[in-house]
Structure 1
Amino acid sequence: MKILVPVKRVIDYNVKVRIKTDQTDVDLTNTKMAMNPFCEIAVEEAVRLKEKGVATEIVAVSIGPKACQEQIRNAMALGADRGIHVECDGFPESLQVAKILAKLVEQEQPGLVLVGKQSIDSDNNQTAQMLSALAKIPQGTFASAVDVEGDKVKVTREIDGGLQTLKLTLPAVISTELRLNEPRYAKLPDIMKAKRKPLAVMTTEELGVDIAPRVNTLKVTPPPSRSAGVKVESVAELVAKLRDEAKVIS
């Protein structure tokens, strides 16, 4: 079975995000970039399925500028067999990404598509669901456990108030949750081997997908700074502040 794993290039989660002075976007100048953490979980799950003998090939895909090849090579160092880079200026919106992935699903015919549930930059949590609809294949979102059983896959997913177990017919799209696994670190020999693994480059024009933006960003602002706390002398004073100032109790 072939597994397709999209990976996105994002600002490293350890980096403090800076806003451009004109508030048009996030400032990426000299900013450390990395693979989206949820995509790392998807890659790790694909590698584990290959180690179990369930998967035979893992294809890592990234959409964006040439620098995205760094994240594809990283995925190949972690265990992906080959990569596909769909090169374009900037990073397309969720719907355009889903359309591109749908074209690749049509070309590659994977048995499973493992997608990070969301990216930590846009936080949209939309691509997996849109891809499922466009490719007309079942979906299992927020997966905390994945078990492939023949031509079926059992997905345990996190929902409000508990867990839900679904059984999907392959091919299917699964989006990964934090509790699915703990990603491994790439070893130096694997990093060197990844440099020799095949990486195909194509454009959105070749796939016939229009990536013109449908959403305009009006302004980007940092969150308001957190105000300092206050000390109270008694429980009565605390209750009074919660009632009269914070108005969280009546």
Structure 2
Amino acid sequence: MTNALFQEVLPTPEVLRPWVAGIGSVSIGDRPTEPFVHLPEAATRVVVRTGEHGARSALVVGPRARASYHRGKRRVSCTELRLAPGTVRPLFGIPAVDLVGRAVPLGDLPGPGTRQLADELRWLTPEEAMEHLADVLPERLAATADRPRTELLRAGVEALSVRAGHVPGQVGGVARELAVSERQLRNLFAEGVGLSPKHYARINRVRTVLDHAATRSWAELAATTGYYDQSHMTSDFRTLMGVPPRSYFTGRLPQATPCASVRQAWVASRV
């Protein structure tokens, strides 16, 4: 199938694991006649993109509050690092909230060495780029990160995330567990994740529904992901995905739109 979207999870080097939540690759074949979905995403990503004629670029893609549906460009591939909470400011010099809904050329960001890093990544294959990032990122991040603040943020992220045997807490309860006010928790999330704690939790729950819908009933999914009931789950899913669960999983999707160019999207978001 030449029109398929191919996705692969790649191993994360041990040295990057304090700062990178995962690495993956995505490629689109010769005839991308089927639309593809950008799912809601709470993580900021560093993306090394290879275009149809082999040209490479290094981008930073911020959190995505809601899904979007697009017509694909042919022969495009990307390798991306999903950054762990608290990595954006020490790496790029800005809070994560400034990147929400944006795709930015890496070299345009104000962090130390971003322009040089972007120039280096342009000439490397995706595999070489990942090796290079493993060489340069840990030392830079260790020198600039606020460890106590990062650990507090990650404890909040963990408490609001769905995982085996754990139903995510409510924002107020999580703030009390961490001995901070809800306002402080919101500020932590704005800087280190880019989204409010509530919206982070909504994305995490909907992504869990997407991952497990094939093996669990709607009622079971609602109970294990922290929803009040199935109706609450359906409402959240529709808000973030644009359609209710049954429509999504039967292919009744919103109309696909072309992808905007990265620089156009970045400039428009700054106006």
Bigger radius of gyration: 1
TM range, normalised to the smaller chain? under 0.3
Give TM-score, length-normalised by structure 1: 0.25
Bigger strand share? 1
More contact order relative to length (CA 8 Å, sep ≥ 6) = 1
Give TM-score, length-normalised by structure 2: 0.24
